[in-house]
C-alpha cells in the first residue's frame, strides 16, 4: 500500500474512526474531508470556523490549513462576505466526473489486465460483492465502501501511484451524491456481477474486454444517478 502522504487518500482510507492521522493538521483535514464526501456536511452548507474550532478544540491556524487543502481539491468554496461553504453537487459536475472516470478507469482496467498478479486478482474478487438490503442504511453504506474498495483494487494492479491518486480522488467525489440518500435505483447484484466480469477480464489478460466492461460499468451508474439528481432538483 502506498503511504497516504504520497497520494490523495480515498474516503475509505480517510475515515478518522478507522485510521486517524497522527499530525493535527492531517487529522483535521481527514475529518472534514470525510464529512464532506459522505455528506455529513451537506452540499452548500455554510462552514462556521468558530464552531469547528470549539468542536475540535483547535485554533484557526490548523483549521485554515485544512481549508486550503480542501479548497484546492474543490470540496469547499470561499465566497465574499459569506466565508467558506461546502461545494455544491450539480448534474454537470457529476457528468464531468463520470467522463473523467470513463477515460481514466477504462485505461486503468486495460493496464490492470496487462500487469495483474494472482494476488491482485484475488484482492479484486474479495471486494467484488456489493449486495445490500434496500432500506437498510448501514448495509447501503457498506455497499458504498465495498464499491470503492473494488475500484481501488483494480487501480492497484497497475502499481502506478499517480494513476491511483487521480482515480481515487475522482471516485470519492463521484460517490458523494450517493451519500445524500437519493433513490438511485442501485441493484447490488447487478453491480456485483459487473465487478466479477471486470475481474475475470483482468485475470485472463483481456485488455479490450476489461476496458469495455469498466466503461460500461461507469456509464450504467451515471445514467441512474443523473436521473436521481435531476429528480431531486440538483
Q: What is the pLDDT of residues 68-116, one digit of tens each?
A: 999 998 899 988 878 899 999 999 999 999 999 999 999 999 999 999 9
CB-based contact 175:144 (threshold 8 Å):
yes
**Does the pLDDT at position 50 exceed 80?**
yes
**Does the pLDDT at position 226 exceed 80?**
yes
Three-state DSSP at 143 gives helix
| pTM for the predicted model, two decimal places | 0.83
The HSE-up count of residue 177 (CA atoms within 13 Å, CB side) is 30
Domains contained in the chain, CATH given: 4-86 (1.10.10.10), 91-231 (1.20.120.530)
Positive or negative, the CA dihedral 108, 97, 87, 79 is positive
Q: What is the pLDDT of residue 185?
A: 65
Q: What is the pLDDT of residue 117?
A: 95
Average pLDDT (169-181) is 85
Q: What is the pLDDT of residues 56-73, one digit of tens each?
A: 999 999 999 999 999 998
**Does the pLDDT at position 3 exceed 60?**
no
Q: What is the 3-state secondary structure (H, E, C) of 83-114?
A: EEEECCCCHHHHHHHHHHHHHHHHHHHHHHHH
**Does the pLDDT at position 46 exceed 90?**
yes
- Contacts of residue 173, defined as CB under 8 A and 6 or more positions apart, other chains included, come to 37, 74, 75, 97
User: Which residue matches cell numbers 474516503?
Assistant: 11
Question: H or E stretch including 149?
Answer: helix 137-156
* C-alpha span between 155 and 136 (Å, rounded): 29
Positive or negative, the CA dihedral 26, 31, 37, 42 is negative
Average pLDDT (126-138) is 82
**Does the pLDDT at position 20 exceed 70?**
no
Amino acid at each position: 500500500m502506498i503511504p497516504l502522504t504520497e497520494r490523495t487518500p480515498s474516503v475509505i482510507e480517510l475515515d478518522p474512526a478507522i485510521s486517524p492521522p497522527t499530525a493535527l493538521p492531517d487529522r483535521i483535514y481527514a475529518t472534514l474531508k470525510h464529512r464532506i464526501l459522505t455528506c455529513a456536511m451537506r452540499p452548500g452548507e455554510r462552514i462556521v470556523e468558530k464552531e469547528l474550532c470549539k468542536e475540535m478544540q483547535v485554533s484557526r491556524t490548523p483549521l485554515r490549513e485544512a481549508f486550503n487543502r480542501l479548497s484546492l481539491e474543490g470540496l469547499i468554496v470561499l465566497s465574499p462576505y459569506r466565508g467558506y461553504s461546502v461545494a455544491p453537487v450539480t448534474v454537470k459536475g457529476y457528468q464531468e466526473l463520470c467522463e473523467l472516470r470513463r477515460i481514466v478507469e477504462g485505461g486503468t482496467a486495460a493496464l490492470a489486465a496487462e500487469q495483474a498478479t494472482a494476488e491482485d486478482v484475488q484482492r479484486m474478487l474479495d471486494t467484488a460483492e456489493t449486495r445490500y438490503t434496500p432500506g437498510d442504511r448501514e448495509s447501503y453504506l457498506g455497499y458504498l465502501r465495498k464499491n470503492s474498495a473494488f475500484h481501488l483494487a483494480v487501480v492497484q494492479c497497475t502499481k502506478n501511484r499517480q494513476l491511483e491518486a487521480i482515480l481515487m480522488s475522482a471516485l470519492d467525489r463521484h460517490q458523494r451524491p450517493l451519500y445524500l440518500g437519493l433513490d438511485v435505483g442501485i441493484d447490488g447484484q447487478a453491480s456485483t456481477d459487473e465487478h466479477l466480469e471486470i475481474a475475470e477480464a483482468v485475470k485472463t489478460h483481456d485488455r479490450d474486454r476489461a476496458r469495455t466492461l469498466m466503461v460500461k460499468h461507469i456509464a450504467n451508474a451515471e445514467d441512474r444517478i443523473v436521473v436521481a439528481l435531476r429528480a431531486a432538483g440538483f
